[in-house]
Copies of this chain bind each other. A is one copy, B any other.
C-alpha cells in the first residue's frame, strides 16, 4: 500500500503491518456527575438536552445503528444542532444508512466537520466519495470503534441512545416498543464511556424498565419524542436465504468446506451475516450439523431468525447477540435466556481481555471484491465509491479459526476476483478460504486445510486460476481510478487503529 505518512485532518498515519496488535491499552477516565444533582433526568426536548449537556461547537456526538435504515434519532439531533447554529461537530456513528441523507446538508453547511463510522451507504457515502468533506472520514471496524472509545482515543462528549423503551431514570431496553430492535450492543460501549449520555425514547415506561440493557448509572438525561424510528426501516420481518441457484451452489460448497475442515465438533461456533448467500450457508450447515449430530457452543453476530432456529433446534447451546437483523431474532432475545446480549467491546474489541470473535470457529463473510492476496474489499464499489465498510468484517476474520469468504466470480458481468482490490477492508492474512461458483481457493499458509478439503472431494483451485476464469468470463469492465492525485476522502483503520488503506475521491 502507498500510504502517506500524514493525512490532513486525520494526522500521523500508523500503517497496518500484519495482525500483531498493541500489547496494552488503558480504559479512559470519565467524569460523572453526582446523583443529587441529577435526580430529575427527564427533559422535554432534544434542545433541552443540548443545554443540559452544554453541547458546543466542535463537540463529538455519538450514535448507534440498531434502528438501521429506520433511525430518526441522528437526524433529529443534528437538526437541533443546525437550528442552534452549532459548527464543526464530530459525528461518531456506528453505521450510517440512506435514511441519514440530511447529514449531507449538515456537512455542506459546516455543522458537521468530521465523521467516524464502521459502515456507510446511501447519500452520505456518495457525498463523501465525491469529496464533499474537508476532513477525511475515519472508517473503523465495530471492534476498533469499541477499542477507540474505551481507550479514550475517541472521546465522546455526548452519546445519544435511541431507546425503544426507557424509564424516567434512564434504564432502557431495545426489546419492547414500537421501535423494538433487540439488544443494544453498540450503544452499550458509548453509554459506558461517553462523558454524557442522553436516551431518546418513544416509549416512556414506569420505573424501572424491565428488562434493562443499559442501566440508569450510565444515563444522564431522558428525552421522550413522538417517534425514534420507522419500524419498516429498522428490521425485516424475517431475513431469508437466497433462492438463486448460483448462490445456493456457493452456499452448499461453503457448508462442505466447514464439514471438511474438521471444526464441526461440540465446541463449534459460527457467525454469518444477513445476506441471502450467508443465510443459505446457515441453512446448509443446519442440515450438516443435524446429520452429524453436532451441538455447537454458540452462534454470534448480528443475529437472524435463522440462527435462532438453529438454537431452538439444539444445534447451538447459546447465542451472543450485538444486534438483531430481523423481528424473529428480537422475539428470541426477548423470550430465551440462552440468547444473550453482548456489547461491541465483548464482541470484537481487540484490546480487551478477550472478545467473542476470538472464540469463533467459523465466520462466513461477504465481499465486494477479493484479490489474489485474499485481501477483501467491502468498503468501495468497483468505481471506487464508498458503499459500505467493515462493520465486523475485519474483526471476525481476525478472530475465527476458519474465515470463509463467499462470492460469485462476477457480478453484473464485472469480475469480483481481482488482481488487487480497490480498497483493503480485511487483510488477506486473516482469510482462510474463498468460495466461489467456480471453485474454492485456500490461503497459501493453510496447506493443512487445502489438503483436508481436497480429501473431502472439494474443488480447490489456486486463486490465480479463479482470477483468470473471472477475466475470461467478464462481459463488462471498469475503469479503476485509484489515482494517487485524487484527494483522500476516507482513512480505513484496521481494528487496532493502524491505517490499512485510504479511499480517494471518485474523479
Contacts and interface: CB of A to CB of B under 8 A. Distances in A.
Nearest to A269: B207
B210 A267 contact: no
Interface stretch (A20-28, A284-292, A324-332, A473-481): A20-28
Contacts of A197: 353
Interface string A333-355: 00001101011011001111111
Contacts of A266: 206
Interface of A: 20-39, 41, 169-170, 197, 206-208, 210-212, 215-220, 266-267, 297-298, 317-318, 320, 337-338, 340, 342-343, 345-346, 349-356, 358-359
Q: Chain A binding site: helix, strand, loop or mixed by DSSP?
A: loop
Taken together, the copies of this chain in the complex come to 2
A169 B297 CA distance: 13
Contact of A355 (B20, B35, B220): B35
Given A206-B267, A353-B170, A24 B32 contact: yes
A345 B170 CA distance: 15
A353 B216 contact: yes
Given A206-B267, A208-B318, A359-B169, A352 B24 contact: no
A378 to B, nearest CB: 23
B27 A353 contact: no
Contacts of A37: 23
B207 A267 contact: yes
Contact of A24 (B28, B31, B41, B218): B31
B33 A353 contact: yes
Nearest to A211: B337
Contacts of A21: 34-36
A354 B169 contact: yes
B38 A353 contact: yes
Given A24-B31, A33-B24, A34-B350, A355 B217 contact: yes
Contact of A210 (B29, B206, B340): B340
Given A208-B298, A297-B206, A337-B211, A32 B354 contact: no
B29 A25 contact: no
A349 to B, nearest CB: 7
Given A207-B267, A353-B35, A346 B217 contact: yes
Contact of A207 (B38, B220, B297): B297
